[in-house]
Every structure is written in structure tokens, then in C-alpha cells.
Amino acid sequence: MAVKVCKFGGTSMADGNVINGVKKIIEGDRERKYVVVSAPGKRYSGDTKVTDLLYACQDELEAFGTCKKSFAAVRARFISIVKELNLDFDIESILIETERRIESEKSRDFTASRGEYLSAQVVARVLGAKFIDAENVIFFGESGALDGEKSYKAIVEAVKDCDLAVFPGFYGRGVDGRVKTFSRGGSDISGAIVARAVNASLYENWTDVSGFLACDPRIVDSPKRIKRISYKELRELSYMGANVLHSESIFPVRKANIPIVIKNTFRPEDEGTEILPSSRYTPSGNIVTGIAGKKNFTVIFIEKSLMNSEVGFIAKVLEEVAREGVSIEHIPSGIDTMSLVIASENLGDQKLSRILEGIRNAVEPDIIRVIENIALVATVGHGMSSSVGTSARLFNAIAAANINIKMIDQGSSELNIVVGVKNEDYERCIKAIYAEFFGKNQN
């Protein structure tokens, strides 16, 4: 029998009524055997996510040595959920122990993980399923990266002879034996790890949207839904800000060629979006699959005559950036020029000044200048590499919108074209590209 792994996001855990909907989804398909859950999200506009309540607990603990006041909101939230579900479940005892451990562990990762832990306890009781603590089956190695081999073996052993199991997402155990979390939104990764371990036929990621959209609906009204997308396209779009799915969640399932589907907890009948490995992916016929972007980048422009003939030039520049612990998003270059594109938020505490001084001393450039407040917009699609004139259409559309392009970078796979524009032109740029490739009913 095929096995499906289902991950439910924070809005799917928001209250008892929604969790009852999750129960119906699970019970509606016998292949849905393993469930990964997030912490409860917002119930309404202005509400606070449980993970944020827990970060407030940690702040209070660090300031006053107790989290009693802040944890009261977490306690009230879960008591309310259990009451709405009409569960015969002693959640109060678990909450008392959770608060005690938060105060004894004194770990930000541990505190943040308790939303998922408590959610999974509740959902396991609702489903009559086995609760499997992620702390006992997901492990991180010395470098802080996932120890896949150890984790997969532990998960397989934990679900042995188990008809239905619930895992908390977002966390595992570090090499020091303490709870360690993924980055925010990491429950998507947890779901992918479980799917890889059990060799699932499908990884279902249930959210509050009916799949991926071709661009941000806050910028373009009712953008087209993407029916099918490849792992590579997903990675590009997620990295550039399309946040339906965590950008790192594809890696565990990609190795096993396990497809992903994005589904809507509140509209389970909707088709959603399929995310497929290359072996199963057939392009839809559209040149462009999606458009995504981010604001607030800084570009360091470097020019030096005969740069290309100076051995180790680029390595010396990158070494100065690495010395400050800063990652680089893109490095477009020419014969005598190169640019470093860096997220502006990573250049605080005088890091930019130190990087510039280090580059001047290391390579003695003819010109070095900084361009700030840059937005990056990525246009992504497998059809771009095989379609003549795609770049021309893209640049003409941007020019027609009277937008000046500050930077251009095309991936070697020809899967994407990234342009840099002023922050103030970001929304207009996305609208212009969308209108060119989607708004005129053109492929």
C-alpha cells in the first residue's frame, strides 16, 4: 500500500474547528499514515502565533528568570483548543511540565519548539495516533546540518508496526543532546524528512492557499495558479521570496524522487500545485512558470583593468566578505568588473565599511562603489531556455514601464533571469513582467 506523509501548517492548527477539518482530511484517505504538524498560527487578523508567544516567554525568562506571565497566553490557547475539540485529555499536566522545562532548559530553541510539541500531542489524541517526539528521531550533525542517515533510520524504527503517527515539526536534537530548531517555517523540512524516511509515494503540504501562484497576489490581483512545477523552479522561487514552502524542504525528498503537492486545508477539494522531480516533470508549455523577488539588497560594484588576468582576484574579494561572516546572493561579472549582491540586513555593525576597506587593501580596485536599496526580481521557468527572445520580451516589458535595471544576472542553467531595480520600482517591475508573460494570454 502506498504511503502519504501530510504536513499541516500553523493555520491548520489554529483552533479546534480547523483541527477537526484536519481529522476529516486524514480519515478521508487511508494512505495518509504519517502526519507532521506546526504550532498554532493566527486565528484572525491581529492574533498572535503561538511560536511568537513562546519567543515572548523566552524573552521574559531571560529578563526575569521566569516565563510565568507570558506562558499564561500559551496555556490559555491550548486549553481553548482542547475544549473546542471536546477532548478528554489532561492537557494541563503537559502544560505544567512544559513550562517547567522551559524554565530549566533556558534554551531559545527548546522554548520555540514547544508549540509544535504541544500541537502534535493534541492531534495525536484527536486521531488516536502514536505521538513520536521529533527530539528522538531527527538529528543534527556537528556542523548543524541534518544527519540524514541517522534520522531516517530512527524514523523507520519509530513507525514500525504503527498504523498512524503524528510528529511535531520544526525541531530535532543537536549533537549536544539538546533540542535544536530549523529556521522559521522549518516544519516543511520536518515533513520532507519523514517522507524520505518512509519512502512516501507523496508528500502533501497543507496550507491556507490552494497551491503556488505565478506571483505575489498582494502585487498582482488574482495571479494564475501554477498547476505543476519542478523541484528546480520551486527552489528558485522559494529562495527569492515565494514563501508557500520552505526553500530547503525539497532536498530530502528530491533524492528519493518523491513528489510534493501543496493543498489548501480550508478547500481540500482544490487541485493544488504538484512539485515534481525532473524524471516526472513535463513543462506546461508556458515560457515562464513564476515571478518572485525581495527588497533591500546592497550591491558592491568593483572595477579594475585586466581583472580577468589577475590570478586569485575573485577569491581575494570573496575572502574579505567571508571574513565578516556575510553570505553573497549573486555575483554578476564582466571582464574588468564584478558585483557582489548582499542582503542589506547582513551588513550592519560597520560590516560594510570593513568589507570595503578589506577589498581596497586586498585587490586595489580602480573603482569601488556601493548601490543601496536594490530589489531583486527573479523570472523563473524551464521554457525560458528553449524560447527565442525571452530576454528581449522581459527587458522590453521593464523598459516600457519606465524602470531602470541596475543589475542583470542569468543562471547558467538558463532557468532564471534576475534583475536588480530600485526598491521603489519593485512592485511595478513584477506587474510589468507578469503582464508580459501571463496578462496577454501568451505562452
* Percentage of the chain lying above the pLDDT 90 cut: 80
Residue 250: pLDDT band (50, 70, 90) is: confident
Compute the distance between CA of residue 189 and CA of residue 245 in angstroms, rounded to an integer.
9
Quote the pLDDT of residue 352.
96
| Single-letter residue type at 221 | D
Contact 185, 249 (CB under 8 A): no
Quote the pLDDT of residue 52.
97
Residue 76 in grid coordinates: 490559555
Highest mean pLDDT among 125-139, 207-221, 280-294, 335-349: 125-139
Domains and CATH numbers, the chain: 4-276 (3.40.1160.10), 290-437 (3.30.2130.10)
DSSP letter string, 13-71: GSSHHHHHHHHHHHHT-TTEEEEEE-----SSTT---HHHHHHHHHHHHHHHS--HHHH
413: pLDDT strictly greater than 70: no
More confident residue, 291 or 388: 291
Residue 184: pLDDT band (50, 70, 90) is: confident
Exposed, middle or buried: residue 52 (CB in 10 Å: 0-12, 13-18, 19+)?
Answer: middle
Mean pLDDT of the region 192-211? 95
Quote the pLDDT of residue 246.
80
283: pLDDT strictly greater than 90: no
Quote the pLDDT of residue 137.
98
- Average pLDDT over the chain, rounded to whole? 93
Residue 411: pLDDT band (50, 70, 90) is: low
Quote the pLDDT of residue 440.
56
Quote the pLDDT of residue 136.
98
Whole-number Cα distances in Å, 437 to 210, 250, 395, 414, 440: 22, 27, 12, 17, 7
Quote the pLDDT of residue 248.
83
Closest CA to 179 of 138, 212, 120, 232: 138
Cβ neighbours, 10 Å, residue 194: 31
216: pLDDT strictly greater than 60: yes
Quote the pLDDT of residue 63.
97
109: pLDDT strictly greater than 80: yes
Residue 338: pLDDT band (50, 70, 90) is: very high
Quote the pLDDT of residue 393.
93
Contacts of 100 (CB under 8 A, 6+ apart): none
Quote the pLDDT of residue 442.
44
- DSSP letter at 379 equals E
Mean pLDDT of the region 363-380? 95
Q: In the Cβ-directed half-sphere of 272, how many Cα atoms lie within 13 Å?
A: 22
Q: What is the pLDDT of residues 35-64, one digit of tens each?
A: 999 999 999 999 999 999 999 999 999 999
384: pLDDT strictly greater than 90: no
Mean pLDDT of the region 124-145? 96
- Reported as type and span, the H/E element at residue 368 is strand 367-380
Q: Is 29 helix (H, G, I), strand (E, B) or coil?
A: coil
Q: Is 339 helix (H, G, I), strand (E, B) or coil?
A: strand
More confident residue, 78 or 251: 78
The dihedral region occupied by 306, where left means phi > 0, alpha psi between -120 and 50, and beta the remainder, is: left
Quote the pLDDT of residue 412.
64
443: pLDDT strictly greater than 50: no
| Terminal alpha carbon distance of the chain | 39
Residue 249: pLDDT band (50, 70, 90) is: confident
- Reported as type and span, the H/E element at residue 234 is helix 231-239
pTM of this structure: 0.86
Quote the pLDDT of residue 309.
87
